[in-house]
């Protein structure tokens, strides 16, 4: 039931990003769809219970969020990149912890990634709000003849 609620929330966030967003939000929509499809297509790729396919998908998403955070003027991309980095780091833990104990961290990582994806889903709603607010601010600024930035007309 929780997974269905998250899926519905993600679809709502994607629709809001498409409706109100500009290029960063639309790229984020592509990344969300890529995560849905890519995770299913690459799921069979595993190395001794380590999810190589999921690691590839999350790494691509991390790099894309990181590049967008550096180039786009959107604050929501910074926490999205940070939380995606947490998801990426969870793939490294089983390789750092040696021996049998490292195998237990595989499922710990899966659990952490589920929580991280929940937070990123909330951040996507914040991204839709920011895109809406930025557009509204630009429209108000244009209709006021840039008086918001220069109220005295000097």
- Average confidence score pLDDT of the chain: 86
Task: Tell if the pTM clears 0.85, that is, is over it.
Answer: no
Span 9-29, average pLDDT = 92
pLDDT at 108 over 70: yes
| Tens-digit pLDDT profile for residues 74-107 | 999 999 999 999 999 998 888 887 777 666 777 7
Of 32-41, 123-132, 134-143, which gets the smallest average pLDDT? 134-143
Nearest to 60, CA basis, from 20, 23, 33, 96: 33
Percent of the chain at pLDDT > 70 equals 91
pLDDT at residue number 151: 52
Tell which wins on pLDDT, 49 or 46: 46
Where residue 72 falls (left for φ over 0; alpha for ψ -120 to 50; beta otherwise) is: beta
């Amino acid at each position: 039931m929780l997974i269905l609620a998250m899926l519905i929330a993600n679809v709502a966030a994607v629709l809001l990003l498409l409706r109100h967003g500009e290029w960063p939000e639309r790229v984020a929509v592509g990344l969300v769809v890529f995560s849905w499809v890519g995770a299913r297509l690459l799921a069979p790729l595993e190395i001794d219970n380590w999810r190589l396919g999921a690691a590839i998908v999350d790494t691509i998403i991390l790099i894309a969020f990181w590049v967008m955070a550096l180039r786009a003027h959107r604050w929501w991309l910074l926490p999205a990149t940070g939380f995606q980095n947490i998801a990426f780091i969870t793939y490294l833990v089983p390789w750092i912890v040696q021996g049998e104990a490292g195998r237990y961290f595989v499922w710990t990582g899966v659990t952490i990634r589920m929580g991280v994806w929940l937070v990123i889903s909330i951040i996507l709603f914040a991204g839709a709000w920011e895109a809406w607010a930025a557009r509204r601010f630009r429209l108000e600024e244009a209709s006021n003849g840039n008086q918001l930035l220069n109220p005295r007309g000097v």
